[in-house]
Amino acid sequence: MIDFVAALVGPFRDIAGQPVFFVEVVLGGVFAGLLYSLVALGFVLIFKASGVFNFAQGAMVLFAALTLVGLMERGVPVIAAVAVTTAVMIGLAFVIERLVLRPLVNQEHIILFMATIGLNFFLEGFGEMLWGANVKKLDIGIPDRTFMVGAVQINELELTSAITAAVLVTVLAVFFQKTRIGRALRAVADDHEAALSIGIPLKTIWVVVWSIAGVVAIAAGIMWGAKSGVQFSLSLIALKALPVLILGGFTSVPGAIAGGLIIGIGEKIGEVYWGPLVGGAIENWFAYVVALAFLLVRPQGLFGEKIIERV
């Protein structure tokens, strides 16, 4: 018993003893967390605009990354490849609106959710049919090397990804909180019919939101792809975004950011300091345990709108 307590408390002594290492661990968590936020943000945008959990967000990340790598393998320069991929994702938004969403206006949310599951399988299959299923290396010209700031080691690729993610997240947060489109978006999420009746064009809103979700998917695809290669498992990072959403609240942009950071930092610290205690792999389940705890205590998440049911 005493051994166990000592093992639990011991890591705190390590933290105090080696502050530089601790800062490095936290930074690693921040980098990972910002990427989680970015993926979660894709979900939040679509959820806010249509009340639908977009099961296909992970597949969109994979599809975007596959398209980008596929183009670059055929000799297209990075900038042009990113531009073409962006155009493809926006085109995809138009197609999704026309073929999937428009026929399902005013249907139950569960029906739209099922439609996104179908979309998920389609995108995974279509992407691999076009570009092949083997693991591809994505090299966007940012070296994967480290440099020192004071005593702290920082990875250049991670830093670039984190800054890009932070900029994207900030721009999107401002866009949706402060603009007319943001308000229209919340309106569409609350009530399709009422939104239509006051003159909000549902079609435009959906295309805008899915386009933005597509662009966010490109960013996420590049960052994760550059780290661990472009492969089928990219679509699984959507699973990591789920606990982030539960933590932050499905409807909250700041929630997605905070949730991503909490999970990113929490799992890194847990893994490095308390991992040995349980034989490691804390990183793999930490997020889900946190999510489970939140579902029990505060199901709307940290920043979500309180769920009110009148009976």
Partner 1 sequence: MTATGAPRPLLEVDGISVRFGALLALNRLSLTIPRGEIAAIIGPNGAGKTTLLNCISGFYHPYEGVIRFAGRDRTHLRPPDVAALGIARTFQNVALFRGMSVLDNIMTGRVLAMRGNFLLQALWWGPARREELAHRAFVERIIDFLEIQAIRKTPAGRLPYGLQKRVELARALAAEPQLLLLDEPMAGMNVEEKEDMCRFILDVNSEFGTTIALIEHDMGVVMDICDHVVVLDYGRKIADGTPEVVRKDQAVLDAYLGVAHRD
Residues within the interface to partner 1 (CB under 8 A): 174-175, 178-181, 183-184, 186-187, 189-191, 193-202, 251, 305, 308, 310
Question: Between 156 and 191, whose beta carbon lies closer to partner 1?
Answer: 191
Q: How far is the CB of 248 from partner 1 (least distance, A)?
A: 16
What tokens appear for 264 in the block? 């990113």
Q: What share of the chain is helix, strand, coil (3-state, %, to 5)?
A: 75, 5, 20
Q: What angle do CA 38, 41, 47 make, to 5 degrees?
A: 160
Q: How far is the CB of 185 from partner 1 (least distance, A)?
A: 10
Lookup result for tokens 């990875």: 155
Question: Between 129 and 308, whose beta carbon lies closer to partner 1?
Answer: 308
CA distance 25 to 273: 10
Question: Between 161 and 251, whose beta carbon lies closer to partner 1?
Answer: 251
Q: How far is the CB of 180 from partner 1 (least distance, A)?
A: 5
Q: How far is the CB of 250 from partner 1 (least distance, A)?
A: 11
CA distance 275 to 102: 48
Question: Between 144 and 191, whose beta carbon lies closer to partner 1?
Answer: 191
Q: How far is the CB of 216 from partner 1 (least distance, A)?
A: 17
Q: How far is the CB of 273 from partner 1 (least distance, A)?
A: 40
CA distance 14 to 118: 49
Question: Between 23 and 196, whose beta carbon lies closer to partner 1?
Answer: 196
Please state whether 142 falls in left (phi above 0), alpha (psi between -120 and 50) or beta: beta
Indicate the helix (H) or strand (E) that contains 156: helix 156-178
What tokens appear for 109 in the block? 């949310």
- DSSP-derived letter for residue 307 is P
Q: What angle do CA 163, 165, 171 make, to 5 degrees?
A: 100
Q: How far is the CB of 195 from partner 1 (least distance, A)?
A: 8
Question: Between 18 and 179, whose beta carbon lies closer to partner 1?
Answer: 179
Question: Between 104 and 196, whose beta carbon lies closer to partner 1?
Answer: 196
CA distance 215 to 164: 13
Q: Are the CB atoms for 155 and 146 separated by under 8 Å?
A: yes
Q: Are the CB atoms for 260 and 33 separated by under 8 Å?
A: yes
